[in-house]
């Protein structure tokens, strides 16, 4: 019996949707962690896990799909920032 390997979707729309969802969830988890860290005195990590996820998405896909990934990641970042009351111009840049 052959094992199927897990790969990224090949269709640009499916790839963009998967990247958007994965990145949005990762950024939302970071927001939740920082909200919890605000209640505790001490150092806060400067590591941003969604950046690692973005790197994996880029390295795991073909070069021709990189514009789709960049757009999906940008849209996810803007969407989550807008949900947390960041002004559009601050999060769009």
Round to whole Å and give the CA distance between 17 and 12: 9
Please state, in angstroms and as integers, the Cα–Cα distance from residue 50 to each residue in 1, 10, 11, 60, 77, following that order.
35, 22, 22, 15, 10
**pTM of the predicted model, to two decimals?**
0.73
pLDDT mean across residues, the chain: 81
Q: What is the pLDDT of residue 90?
A: 85
Domain boundaries, the chain: 13-38+48-92
Round to whole Å and give the CA distance between 8 and 36: 33
Is the predicted pLDDT of residue 50 greater than 60, yes or no? yes
Rg of the chain over Cα atoms, rounded to whole angstroms, equals: 16
Are 30 and 48 in contact by the 8 Å Cβ rule? The answer is yes
Q: What is the pLDDT of residue 80?
A: 87
Q: What is the pLDDT of residue 67?
A: 92
């Amino acid at each position: 019996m052959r094992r199927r390997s897990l790969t990224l979707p090949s269709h640009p729309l499916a790839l963009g949707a998967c990247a958007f969802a994965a990145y949005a969830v990762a950024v939302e988890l970071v927001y939740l962690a920082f909200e919890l860290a605000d209640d505790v005195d001490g150092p806060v990590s400067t590591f941003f896990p969604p950046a690692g996820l973005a790197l994996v998405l880029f390295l795991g896909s073909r070069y021709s799909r990189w514009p789709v990934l960049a757009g999906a990641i940008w849209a996810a970042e803007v969407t989550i920032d807008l949900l947390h009351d960041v002004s559009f111009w601050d999060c769009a840049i």
